[in-house]
């Protein structure tokens, strides 16, 4: 089983300190929403965001969107061997239903995730596609790892152990009952906080260059899928 956790996801609603700014109010009018109901997005709120602490790491929901697109609806996901969680910058954790069909359209994804951040789940009734769960990142990792007697807790990170595509494949277990937890940062700039980094026992650098989060997700997911025999069987 592969458990992907997107770390420090740059998704949040427009914070209170920006809601009275003209640029935000105009954007809210165009979207027929209240300013505090809008997803913070550097594309639309870049100028206002210069006032925010930690602005380099915030307002990039596209990273989460593209990463989710790269891992959901894959053969591994369809085989029931994938779970996905989002860990937000404020520490909250979102569980994604792996059977979800994510909107292909970015604006629709934003609308849906605005509702999720406001109401704690989407849709409001019935089986959730995604919901905020009452756990912390350390507890989540511990619980996922406890699902099997053996587990691997991997963090993709620059500066980790240099790991070629071949070595990556060899590190991954052939037995899909062994739980593999993979952390990938879903923020644009800055360093992974030590408090997050230290929760992962194995750190892997997959290329000498910095990679996009969705490429990292895709690389590990396809290596794992091939290792456990979900793809490449004819």
Where along the sequence are the contacts to ligand SAM (CB under 6 A)? 156-158, 184-185, 187, 189-192, 204-207, 210-211, 213, 216
Least separation in angstroms between residue 199's CB and ligand SAM is: 13
100 alpha carbon, distance to own chain's centre = 15
Least separation in angstroms between residue 209's CB and ligand SAM is: 6
Half-sphere exposure (Cβ direction) of 89: Cα atoms closer than 13 Å = 23
Q: Which is nearer to ligand SAM, 22 or 210 (CB)?
A: 210
Q: Which is nearer to ligand SAM, 41 or 219 (CB)?
A: 219
Quick one: which H or E segment has residue 216?
A: helix 213-227
The phi and psi torsions of 99 (rounded to 5 degrees) equal -85, 0
Quick one: which H or E segment has residue 132?
A: strand 130-133
Which residue do the tokens 């053996």 mark? 150
Least separation in angstroms between residue 165's CB and ligand SAM is: 12
Q: Which is nearer to ligand SAM, 109 or 187 (CB)?
A: 187
Least separation in angstroms between residue 126's CB and ligand SAM is: 33
Find, among 112, 108, 142, the residue nearest to 128 by Cα: 112
Closest residue (Cβ) to ligand SAM? 185
């Amino acid at each position: 089983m592969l458990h992907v956790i997107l770390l420090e996801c740059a998704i949040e609603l427009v914070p209170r300190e920006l809601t009275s700014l003209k640029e935000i109010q105009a954007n809210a009018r165009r979207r027929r929403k209240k300013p505090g109901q809008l997803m913070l997005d550097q594309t639309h709120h870049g100028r206002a965001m210069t006032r925010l602490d930690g602005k380099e790491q915030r307002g990039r929901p596209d990273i989460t969107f593209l990463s989710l697109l790269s891992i959901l609806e894959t053969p591994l996901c369809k085989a029931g061997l994938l779970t996905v969680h989002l860990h937000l910058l404020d520490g909250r954790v979102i569980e994604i239903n792996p059977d979800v069909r994510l909107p292909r359209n970015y604006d629709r994804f934003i609308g849906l995730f605005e509702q999720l951040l406001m109401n704690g789940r989407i849709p409001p009734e019935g089986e959730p596609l995604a919901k905020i769960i009452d756990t912390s990142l350390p507890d989540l990792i511990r619980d996922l790892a406890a699902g099997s007697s053996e587990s691997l807790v991997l963090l993709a990170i620059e500066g980790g152990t240099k790991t070629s595509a071949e070595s990556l494949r060899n590190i991954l277990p052939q037995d899909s009952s062994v739980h593999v937890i993979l952390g990938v940062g879903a923020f644009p700039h800055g360093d992974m906080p030590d408090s997050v980094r230290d929760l992962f026992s194995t750190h892997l650098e997959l290329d000498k260059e910095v990679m996009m989060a969705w490429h990292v997700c895709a690389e590990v997911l396809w290596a794992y899928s091939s290792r456990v025999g979900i793809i490449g069987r004819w």
